[in-house]
Amino acid sequence: MKTKPTTRARHWRHKDDAGAATAMPATRMRWWRFPMDENSRTIHDDVRQRAVELLEADVGRRHLARELGVSDATARQWTRAFAVGGAETVLNAGSHRKVYDYETKLAAVKEHVERGKSVRDVMVKYQIPSESSLKAWCRAYRRDGANALVNKRRGRKPRSSEESSS
């Protein structure tokens, strides 16, 4: 008998035969997930290839989602990525990270936030295949202004020459 989820969303409370509450581990709940291949992509390459074929045939995103059994959000992302960069963008999505310069980020964000252009139009104009990148830049711009878009170093700080010589 299922009851409401606990504070940890990945476990559901169940009652055993004696009526004691038990937790079902999250591994038992993952049976619906799409199997992953050897390079850890959640959506297989053949599904992406079929998506490209359908997008080239000019089908809508809802038909694409229904046909391939993917979420509507995934179909929307692929449709926008296809509009930006064609088949290669959909097939290689998530396989590499592109770093955009400050000027491109600022121009794209201002186009959307201040001029009211749609996310899709801005993505196509500035060749940004990732909707989430553009939305993250817009959030940062609204929160902290233009300085939030400056590219920052990532990773561990380099050791200074003084520390490495001692």
Give the model's pLDDT for residue 128. 86
Helices (H), 12-157: 45-56, 61-68, 72-85, 87-91, 102-113, 119-126, 131-144
Give the model's pLDDT for residue 30. 41
**Domain extent for 84:** 45-91
Give the model's pLDDT for residue 17. 61
Q: Are residues 107 and 85 in the same domain?
A: no
Q: What percent of the chain has pLDDT over 70?
A: 68
What is the pLDDT of the chain when averaged over all its residues? 76
* Domain assignment of residue 137, yes or no: yes
Least confident window among 22-31, 80-89, 100-109: 22-31
Whether the pLDDT of residue 9 is over 50: the answer is: no
Report the alpha-carbon distance of residue 22 to residue 3 in Å, rounded.
Answer: 11
The total of structural domains in the chain comes to 2
In terms of Cα–Cα distance, which of 15, 8, 10 is closest to 29? 10
